[in-house]
Amino acid sequence: MQQGKPLILIVDDDAELSALVATLLGRESWEVHTVLTGGDGERALRALRPDLVLLDVMLPDGSGYELCRRWRASHAELGILMFTARGEPMDRVLGLELGADDYLSKPFEPRELVARVRALLRRQTPGRSEAGLLRFEGLSIDLLKRELRVGERVVALTGIEFKLLAALARVPGQILPREALSEAVQPGRYRPQDRSVDVQVARLRRKLEEASPDRVWINTVRGEGYVFLPA
């Protein structure tokens, strides 16, 4: 990898597609490395320490979902974009729940892939605006490590839950509408009748209440959205 250039790892058993994607991303002056199996992906992750992984769901030697879960647990700073021929909503939800940052169904528009990769790389760049530590009385959010602490206790959150919390905590006291929270979780996927944000916020709020029974951190504002309430 050349100094200063992001490195992208592609883990997909479709060699022809991987080569096309590698060429596409290479035109953006990004370094790209491709592998065809999950095992090779594991080895490349350890050896190359990429900034971003494009991970296929269905691999010849295992599940991309399982790799996503393990890699997110051990590499909190790693960008993960999953892509697959399976475009069912529950497939996307599962990938995001396991820690993926984004999810793209095949076939995809090349310009959309480049845009999504660029957006993820901006979030992975050291010194980015999202990086840092948000501290409140009794609660801290490490945006780089993707770690929530209530007191001294680390509270386990899914990728979606952490993104929702970070979006709310960056603007304490400000009401965020559902569409803004949906955009924070997965850009461009908001649907007016989609209530999945409500479900995810409810799960996040329940975990916060279990860790801090005497506090209410997130309030619902009827007809408007949600607000983070620090002490």
Confidence class for position 131, pLDDT limits 50, 70, 90: very low
CB 183, CB 171: distance < 8 Å: no
Which two tokens mark 1? Answer: 């990898």
For residue 59, the tally of other CB atoms under 10 A from its CB is: 21
- Percent of the chain whose predicted confidence (pLDDT) is above 90: 41
Residues whose CB is less than 8 angstroms from the CB of residue 127 and which lie 6 or more positions away in sequence, other chains included:
none
The percentage of residues in the chain with a pLDDT greater than 70, rounded to a whole number, is: 87
For residue 153, give the amino acid letter: R
pLDDT at 81 over 90: yes
Mark out the alpha helices in 27-63 (DSSP H runs). Answer: 38-48
* Closest CA relative to residue 82, chosen from 50, 117, 37: 117
The answer on pLDDT for 190 being more than 80 is: no
Please, is 228 exposed, middle or buried when counting C-beta atoms within 10 Å of its C-beta (0-12, 13-18, 19+)?
buried
Average pLDDT over every residue of 122-144: 69
- 164-180 pLDDT per residue, tens: 998 898 888 888 888 88
For 84-120, how does the pLDDT look when each residue is reduced to its tens digit (9 = 90+)? Answer: 776 566 666 777 778 888 888 888 899 999 999 998 8
Starting from the edge strand earliest in sequence, which strands make up the sheet with 133-136, in order?
Answer: 133-136, 139-142, 147-150, 153-155
